Amino acid sequence: MTMIKRSTLILLLILACLGFLATSYYLFPTASVPNSYILNLRVKKLLVYLLVALISSFTTVSFQAVTGNRFLTPSVLGLESFYVLMQSLFLAIFWRWSQGVAPR
């Protein structure tokens, strides 16, 4: 395994500290501790943000590994637009279906 350069380690440490500070500010924006309901919502949102970031990084790395192109990402291929199209179609179809089934 190769050794990581000292400047890279310092940069990663600075980014980790900034991430910790941003997370702390998001969870506790004021000096007082928020109630458990608000804190629970913020923690759930934060976990979803982290999950989406992790999955996006995995998809990008897998696309780059499969194609052998370091600059290829799902957004370059148009898969994000395809995903939005599929969501829109699902919403339109579901909306029409629910209009016929839903009680009035």
3-state secondary structure of 1: coil
Measured between its terminal Cα atoms, the distance across the chain in Å is 66
Q: How confident is the model at residue 100 (pLDDT cuts 50, 70, 90)?
A: low
Closest CA to 20 of 57, 51, 52, 46: 46
**What is the DSSP code (8-state) at residue 2?**
P
pTM: 0.58
Joined tokens for residue 43: 């923690």
What is the per-residue pLDDT across 45-86, written as a single tens digit (0 to 9) for each? 999 999 988 888 888 888 788 888 777 776 777 777 887 888
Q: H-type helices in 2-73, by residue range?
A: 6-27, 36-67
Which amino acid is it at 80? E
Sketch the domain layout of the chain as residue ranges.
75-104
